[in-house]
């Protein structure tokens, strides 16, 4: 074990979260051992357990931190087209999903029944829905409830589709992203005062690398 560094409680917690995040990203949940987390952080198991009483608690804290970061990096700016905003948000999330495949599968499969993990995911989806509602051109306030319902269903659809894609990649990442964007554009068209994509979705490049 490397020499223990003197850190404040907040610094030590951040260090343990960073170590945990790397291990949960690199390995399936069952293969991550608290003993290894402690060893890599250069602390005793007793100190690790003072911060996180279980592996499940450590994972929940790691996943909460990731959800907070994803929300901070997802920007909805009315100055941009809705397609551009959705593309930016999808890319931010797909970057994380691809880099942290094991962690995403843990949250959505292994710990799917854990109430803490479910709350983290629900809170993030609710925050994304609220942000989208704030930038969409609603015809009037009476349309808000219908649009909110569409967005709620769409976000769950995206979550399920992305988790399935991480398990078995049946299409390219660009295709996955654009299927998700196309689905919500089509669903929202009848409910908005303006066409969310009046010129349609930009075409794919022939080489399949994405949109121009």
Residue 207 pLDDT: 47
The pLDDT, as a whole number, for residue 180 is: 98
Tell me the C-alpha to C-alpha distance, in Å, between residue 120 and each of 60, 177, 188, 204.
Answer: 8, 23, 26, 34
Extract the tokens encoding 142: 């009476």
Q: Looking at the predicted structure, is the pLDDT value of residue 7 above 50?
A: yes
Q: What is the pTM of this model?
A: 0.89
Q: Which residues pair with 192 in a beta bridge?
A: 138
pLDDT tens for 20-53 read 999 999 999 999 999 999 999 999 999 999 999 9
pLDDT in tens, 141-175: 889 999 999 999 999 999 999 999 999 999 999 99
Q: What is the mean pLDDT of the chain?
A: 92
Query: Would you say how long the chain is, in residues?
Result: 212
Q: Quote the pLDDT of residue 208.
A: 47
Nearest one of 47, 169, 25 to 100, comparing CA atoms: 25
CA 32 – CA 111 distance, rounded (Å): 14
- Between residues 13 and 198, the one the model is more confident about: 13
Q: Above 60 in pLDDT, residue 195?
A: yes
């Amino acid at each position: 074990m490397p020499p223990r560094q003197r850190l404040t409680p907040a610094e030590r917690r951040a260090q343990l979260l960073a170590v945990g995040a790397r291990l949960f990203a690199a390995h399936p949940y069952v293969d991550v051992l608290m003993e290894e987390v402690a060893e890599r952080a250069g602390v005793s198991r007793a100190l690790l357990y003072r911060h996180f009483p279980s592996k499940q608690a450590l994972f929940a804290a790691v996943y909460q931190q990731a959800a907070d970061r994803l929300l901070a990096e997802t920007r909805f700016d009315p100055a941009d087209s809705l397609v551009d905003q959705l593309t930016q948000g999808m890319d931010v999330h797909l970057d994380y999903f691809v880099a942290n495949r094991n962690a995403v599968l843990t949250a959505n499969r292994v710990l799917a029944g854990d109430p803490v993990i479910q709350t983290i995911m629900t809170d993030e989806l609710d925050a994304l829905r609220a942000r989208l509602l704030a930038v969409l051109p609603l015809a009037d306030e009476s349309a808000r409830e219908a649009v909110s319902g569409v967005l709620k269903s769409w976000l769950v659809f995206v979550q399920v589709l992305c988790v399935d894609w991480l398990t078995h990649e049946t299409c390219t990442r660009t295709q996955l992203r654009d299927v998700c964007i196309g689905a919500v554009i089509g669903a929202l068209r009848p409910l908005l005062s303006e066409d969310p994509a009046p010129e349609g979705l930009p075409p794919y490049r022939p080489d399949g690398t994405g949109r121009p």
